[in-house]
A = this chain, B = another copy of it.
């Protein structure tokens, strides 16, 4: 017999102590006292351990040989507790002391149930587990398992889990963006959910968040991309707190739009909610890898509290929840877009080749205010002559392009190259693919690229 990864002596000890997954427990051991939530075990090695998610958000495994007692305790003060509300949840989840589910309530019973939230899993570290034989990480957890690994989610939301893909995000393509956008659109139209959470690999999460920001406009509810820098079954995983932050935004906020929700710092007390078009993965491994660029995060989540950025509110950088009437869905993308990064010694033949390949738009990531060397000019002229639109962004990341200041910039403007102000290179590339698929002609693309649609262009730079 095995329950949620526990079996043999370990399972016996849990059953004898009348505790089960999701319970708040305190373990007295020779190594100290550990209080937190009992969570399932995913590891394939070291079987004789009970895994507790501590209040810090970290998981810890306690060896049963060291355990003196396991005691169920009242959970620490929280706004509301709905341990038995399991509507829309995966039915295999144990959620009460008798390992039985209470599946009798409908999603309409909002007075007693926490608000229904859709959890769409696309893969990534957040839904990964460590393979303890190889030491590597593989994409394996389903949305239900993910939900199950964070029992506190039930405090805030009735999660309706769905697996859309099981891909690391470096393998996601514009075709995947279309599928995600269509799926999200359908779920919004069902009007069943207070918010939609998309678990996603962090590598390209900011590209997908930009894609959804253009594909789905005038959203009535928050669409939240969430990931983890360390896999959900690791002791140091950031998955639980990011998911909880996402659930708080999904259920308790008054904002609508596409957001990325991740750690604000390396400590586990504040979660940031970023605008989908103004966020970037700026660190390979840290939990606070994602940063809002040229704007504040829309909101900070501290426990159950949401602090909206006053500055962003002033700048009208986010929308409020609304009806579904005005929603715009344009989920198509066209990949005939090249992102080219300039550097000293850059060979302009790369530009010619992108034109030859039949691409229709080039995003040229220049230096500083948006410059490239003068020996690129003939290739850029050739591109423009071939009806390829060339837009300029900056590899500086922060700040905005400006081609009016220096001779180089004015030369580029003369060729017909168009600067994209403070649009991030990633966002510009995604927007170009979207504009190419959804505009009638180059003139319209040119216009749409320079218009602000989803905060990808902000008129002021409030902070670095």
Interface residues of A (CB under 8 A from B): 125, 135-139, 168-174, 177, 201-204, 207-208, 281-286, 288-289, 333, 335, 337-347, 349-350, 353-354, 357, 365-374, 394, 396-402, 404-408, 410, 426, 429-430, 433, 464
Contact = CB atoms under 8 A, between A and B. Distances in A.
A396 B283 contact: yes
A171 B283 contact: no
Q: Lowest 3 CB-CB distances: which A-B pairs, in order?
A: A284-B399, A203-B367, A203-B368
Given A170-B372, A339-B341, A408-B170, A357 B349 contact: yes
B369 A285 contact: yes
A344 B172 contact: yes
A286 B344 contact: no
Contact of A347 (B177, B357, B371): B357
A398 B286 contact: yes
A195 B345 CA distance: 28
A371 B203 contact: yes
24 contacts: A136-B404, A136-B406, A136-B410, A138-B406, A138-B407, A169-B367, A170-B372, A170-B408, A173-B345, A174-B344, A201-B368, A204-B343, A204-B367, A281-B367, A283-B396, A284-B370, A284-B399, A285-B369, A285-B399, A289-B398, A335-B347, A341-B341, A347-B357, A349-B357
Contacts of A337: 345
A19 to B, nearest CB: 33
Contacts of A371: 168, 170, 203
Nearest to A138: B407
- Copy number in the complex reads 2
A293 to B, nearest CB: 10
A333 B344 CA distance: 11
A400 B207 contact: no
A395 to B, nearest CB: 8
Contact of A207 (B170, B282, B338, B344): B344
A337 B344 CA distance: 11
B136 A405 contact: yes
A208 B136 CA distance: 38
Centre residue among A333, A347, A370, A372 by max chain B CB count within 10 A: A347
A116 to B, nearest CB: 30
A371 to B, nearest CB: 4
A426 B207 contact: no
Centre residue among A283, A284, A288, A372 by max chain B CB count within 10 A: A284
Contacts of A285: 369, 399-400, 402
Given A204-B367, A407-B138, A374 B171 contact: yes
Contact of A464 (B203, B286, B340, B357): B286
B137 A406 contact: yes
B343 A426 contact: yes
Contacts of A203: 367-369, 371
A427 to B, nearest CB: 11
Contacts of A349: 357
B281 A173 contact: no
Contacts of A201: 368
A365 B338 CA distance: 15
Given A168-B371, A372-B170, A404-B136, A365 B341 contact: yes
Contacts of A283: 396-399, 464
A170 B407 contact: no
A404 B137 CA distance: 9
Nearest to A394: B284
Nearest to A406: B137
Nearest to A202: B368
A340 B204 CA distance: 17
A371 B168 CA distance: 10
Given A168-B406, A284-B401, A340-B341, 15 more contacts: A137-B407, A138-B407, A139-B407, A173-B373, A177-B344, A203-B371, A281-B367, A282-B396, A283-B399, A283-B464, A337-B345, A339-B343, A343-B426, A343-B429, A350-B353
